[in-house]
Structure 1
Amino acid sequence: MDNNINRYTEAAEILKVLAHPVRLCIVSGLLEKGECNVNYMHSCLKAPQSTVSQHLQKLKAAGIIEGRREGLEIYYRVSDERVADLIRILTKEVD
């Protein structure tokens, strides 16, 4: 039973991090595009760059996304396939 509670605790933490419209939008956009940088997300979301960066840090700290540096830019992508599956289910259009 203890092993299951740890799994549920981890799942709950991931859901807490995802429980914000901007973070859901970021993850969904990354899945659609593959990877992108803060400037691209900033223009798509119409949110201040600092706000986007704060949300990215929360997603990164939770292990949901990861970044790779290219010069001065960091390009982010979804690194947790469970989250990718979850977002695809949540954003799927119902017939």
Structure 2
Amino acid sequence: MLKVLAHPVRICIVKGLLDKGECNVSHMQNCLDAPQSTISQHLQKLRTAGIIEGRRNGLEIYYSVCNEKVAELINVILSEDK
């Protein structure tokens, strides 16, 4: 799990999903200012690792964090305390 979260874009995606609850690729693309294909590749790695899951709504897929331990990990990784 740490290996998958080792990329800054994936940490940003997971942090955003934890803050927002769920969102689709278009929203992530606007927030991260990255191409849709790049975000989709990162989402696939996160999904394969069991960190996120997708919920289809028509043509869109809304992603959310499905692993409760990830929230703890992200808080530790992004912690300001030393």
TM-score bracket, normalised by the shorter chain, equals over 0.9
Does residue 51 in structure 1 map to residue 38 in structure 2?
Answer: yes
Q: How far did 1:54 drift?
A: 0.3
Aligned amino acid, residue 37 of structure 1: N
Taking only the aligned residue pairs, the percentage that are identical comes to 70
Aligned positions, number: 82
Q: Which amino acid aligns with 2:9?
A: V
- Match of residue 6 from structure 1: none
- When the two chains are superposed, the root-mean-square deviation of aligned CA atoms in Å is 1.2
Q: Distance in 1 between matches of 2:7 and 2:76?
A: 16
List runs of 5+ in structure 2 lacking aligned partners: none
Superposition pairs for residues 11-50 of structure 1, below 5 Å? Answer: 14-50=1-37
Q: Post-superposition shift, 1:91? A: 1.8
If the length of structure 1 is used for normalisation, what is the TM-score? 0.82
- Choose 1 or 2 for highest CA Rg: 1
5+ residue gaps in structure 1? 1-13
CA deviation string 1:36-82 (max 9, x = no partner): 00000000000000000000000000000000000100000001111
Q: Deviations over 1:11-47 (max 9, x none)?
A: xxx0000000000000000000000000000000000
Given the alignment, which residue of 56, 63, 70 partners 1:76?
A: 63
Shift of 1:90: 1.8
Moved beyond 6 Å, runs of 4+? none
